[in-house]
Amino acid sequence: MKTKRFILQENELPRQWYNIQADMVNKPLPLLHPGTKEPLKPEDLYPIFAEELSRQELNQTDSFIDIPEPVLEKYTYYRSTPLVRAYGLEKALDTPAHIYFKNESVSPVGSHKLNSALAQAYYCKMEGVKNITTETGAGQWGTALSYAASVFGLDAAVYQVKISYEQKPYRRSVMQVFGAQVTPSPSMSTRAGKDILTVNPNYQGSLGTAISEAVELAQMTPDCKYTLGSVLSHVTLHQTIIGLEAEKQMEMAGEYPDVVIACFGGGSNFGGISFPFMRHNILDGKKTRFIAAEPASCPKLTKGKFEYDFGDETGYTPLLPMFTLGHKFSPANIHAGGLRYHGAGVIVSQLLKDGYMEATDIEQLDSFKAGCLFAKAEGIVPAPESCHAIAATINEAMKCKESGESKVLLFNLSGHGLMDMSAYDQYLAGDLVNFSYNG
Ligand SMILES: *Cc1c(COP(=O)(O)O)cnc(C)c1O
């Protein structure tokens, strides 16, 4: 029998995260204070984020950072996640490519987001924080944070983008099961929310707006910190557990990836699976390609500009040097809610600029077509976000079929889609459309 899944035992788990900033030839440009426009120091972030997370955010010197023991212990509840050889998908495509995927959908909350949520909640707890706030788009981050908050004994307040609050009621229920307080955004509970609703009472919300609301709450509330599920460098740092495990697991499979692929919202699951392999491109002359798959309707990497921009709609956050569609960009209501964000993290933005990675954009209908093919071939219904990575992987596998090459393709299955069945219903009924970008 051929080996299908590669698993690491608890004592084989990586004990450190990988910080690519330390190895980058061109470091990311500094984050700028929104008021003074001066480069940020970690202390400037302390009012909003836990101190250790603020230091991790700007750490450009340590290649590896220890994973605290209590976080590692919680990781063992679901890690390692399996590295899976996609024999079923290879057969369905009749491709000579060797396709592997890292199955982050087995986490208790169904996505990779828990890898950073546990770390963030832990550091907040250690620093005496009582409440944590955040925003959530599709609901995966809010779910992960709600669970992580309950694990470490914190209260969580989650602003959920209104469109997904309405489209995905069970996400809200799951967050409430974990004890979180969930508010649809924009709401009247913050100045940022009120301002937007005054101009446009029917606004369906966006991640940018929900971030403004959560940051505002953190600033106004004692012992309260804000947490973010993507975009920032410390989030991607925590996600490198994915690629570090995959590196060991690929070794067990006796292969090394020629191409690494992940979907792209703010860059955390992409960086998480890619950076440990990209390290070998930077340091050891490996030639692996890295492909970020973004939605055609929100194409910051392929059609955005590299410039300083705010991370949120209102302009509360520091200015970030990134590929962006502009912080006022309002993304189409695609079902891959986790990919509806106007900008890319500063590390990936610099790496894209310097040619270490590529980006491709995927139409909504192509993403669901790929997702259904994958579901039938491998038995897992993927998250609409992950469908973008699958579609990009299929494109590469079909190129291998044309050229007859047996390339090794590795993609990240960032989450399952069992909470997204209304989107699949609409796709199967022929009611979904593509959205063009006309920015
Ligand atoms: C949040 C999310 C994404 C996008 O976020 P990144 O930070 O770009 O990884 C992708 N897939 C799933 C399942 C998500 O929950």
pLDDT at 136 over 90: yes
pLDDT in tens, 295-311: 999 999 999 999 999 98
The pTM (predicted TM-score) of the whole model is: 0.96
Could you check whether 72-110+234-428 and 112-231 share the same CATH topology?
Answer: yes
Omega of the bond leading into 80 within 30 degrees of 0 (cis) = yes
The Å distance, Cα 35 to ligand 1 centre, comes to: 30
pLDDT at 347 over 90: yes
Q: Residue 138 — pLDDT band, cuts 50, 70, 90?
A: confident
Residue 417 Cβ inside 6 Å of ligand 1? The answer reads no
Protein residue whose Cα sits closest to atom 15 of ligand 1? 140
**15: helix, strand or coil:** coil
The Å distance, Cα 265 to ligand 1 centre, comes to: 6
Residue 267 Cβ inside 6 Å of ligand 1? The answer reads yes
Burial of 409 from C-beta contacts in 10 A (0-12 / 13-18 / 19+): buried
Of 185, 314, 211, 332, give the one whose Cα is nearest residue 266: 211
Of 394, 383, 324, 380, give the one whose Cα is nearest residue 352: 324
| Distance from C-alpha of 312 to C-alpha of 228, rounded to nearest angstrom | 11
The Å distance, Cα 154 to ligand 1 centre, comes to: 24
- For the chain, helix, strand, coil in percent to 5 are 45, 20, 40
Protein residue whose Cα sits closest to atom 9 of ligand 1? 269
State phi, psi for 244 to the nearest 5 degrees: -65, -40
The Å distance, Cα 207 to ligand 1 centre, comes to: 12
The predicted model gives 17-32 an average pLDDT of: 97
pLDDT of residue 56: 98
Residue 378 Cβ inside 6 Å of ligand 1? The answer reads no
The number of the ligand 1 atom at minimal distance from the alpha carbon of 271 is 9
Residue 107 Cβ inside 6 Å of ligand 1? The answer reads no
Asked if residue 39 lies in contact with residue 86, where contact means CB atoms within 8 angstroms, the answer is no
Residue 184 Cβ inside 6 Å of ligand 1? The answer reads no
Q: Tokens 């077509």 belong to which residue?
A: 369
Asked if residue 292 lies in contact with residue 271, where contact means CB atoms within 8 angstroms, the answer is no
pLDDT at 176 over 80: yes
CATH, domain range 112-231: 3.40.50.1100
The number of the ligand 1 atom at minimal distance from the alpha carbon of 231 is 7
Q: Residue 394 — pLDDT band, cuts 50, 70, 90?
A: very high
pLDDT of residue 436: 84
The number of the ligand 1 atom at minimal distance from the alpha carbon of 140 is 15
Residue 111 Cβ inside 6 Å of ligand 1? The answer reads yes
Asked if residue 194 lies in contact with residue 170, where contact means CB atoms within 8 angstroms, the answer is no
Residue 172 Cβ inside 6 Å of ligand 1? The answer reads no
| Distance from C-alpha of 322 to C-alpha of 343, rounded to nearest angstrom | 7
Output the six-digit token pair for 142: 């809010």
**pLDDT mean across residues, the chain:** 96
Indicate the pairing of strand 131-136 with strand 155-161.
Answer: parallel
The predicted model gives 177-205 an average pLDDT of: 95
pLDDT in tens, 263-292: 999 999 999 999 999 999 999 999 999 999
| Distance from C-alpha of 48 to C-alpha of 62, rounded to nearest angstrom | 23
The number of the ligand 1 atom at minimal distance from the alpha carbon of 264 is 8
Q: 285: left (phi > 0), else alpha (psi -120 to 50), else beta?
A: left
pLDDT of residue 207: 81
For the chain, the structural domain boundaries read 72-110+234-428, 112-231
Q: Which residues contact 40 (CB under 8 A, 6 or more apart)?
A: 30, 31, 32, 33, 58, 318
What angle (nearest 5°) sits at the alpha carbon of residue 73, between those of residues 69 and 79?
125
**42: helix, strand or coil:** helix
State phi, psi for 117 to the nearest 5 degrees: -60, -45
Burial of 9 from C-beta contacts in 10 A (0-12 / 13-18 / 19+): exposed
36-40, 147-151, 166-170, 389-393: which has the minimum mean pLDDT? 166-170
Protein residue whose Cα sits closest to atom 3 of ligand 1? 338
The number of the ligand 1 atom at minimal distance from the alpha carbon of 230 is 7
Residue 113 Cβ inside 6 Å of ligand 1? The answer reads yes
Write out the DSSP string of 152-179.
TT-EEEEEEEHHHHHH-HHHHHHHHHTT
pLDDT of residue 431: 94
- The CATH fold assigned to 72-110+234-428 is Rossmann fold (3.40.50)
pLDDT in tens, 220-264: 999 999 999 999 999 999 999 999 999 999 999 999 999 999 999
pLDDT of residue 338: 83
pLDDT of residue 87: 98
Residue type, 96: P
The predicted model gives 116-123 an average pLDDT of: 98
Of 210, 235, 223, give the one whose Cα is nearest residue 117: 235
The Å distance, Cα 52 to ligand 1 centre, comes to: 23
Protein residue whose Cα sits closest to atom 7 of ligand 1? 268
pLDDT of residue 233: 98
**312: helix, strand or coil:** coil
pLDDT in tens, 48-83: 999 999 999 999 999 999 999 999 999 999 999 999
pLDDT at 168 over 90: no
Protein residue whose Cα sits closest to atom 5 of ligand 1? 265
pLDDT of residue 333: 80
The Å distance, Cα 339 to ligand 1 centre, comes to: 7
Protein residue whose Cα sits closest to atom 4 of ligand 1? 265
pLDDT in tens, 314-338: 888 899 999 999 999 988 888 887 8
Q: How far from the centroid of its chain's Cα atoms is residue 306's Cα? A: 20
Q: How far from the centroid of its chain's Cα atoms is residue 328's Cα? A: 21
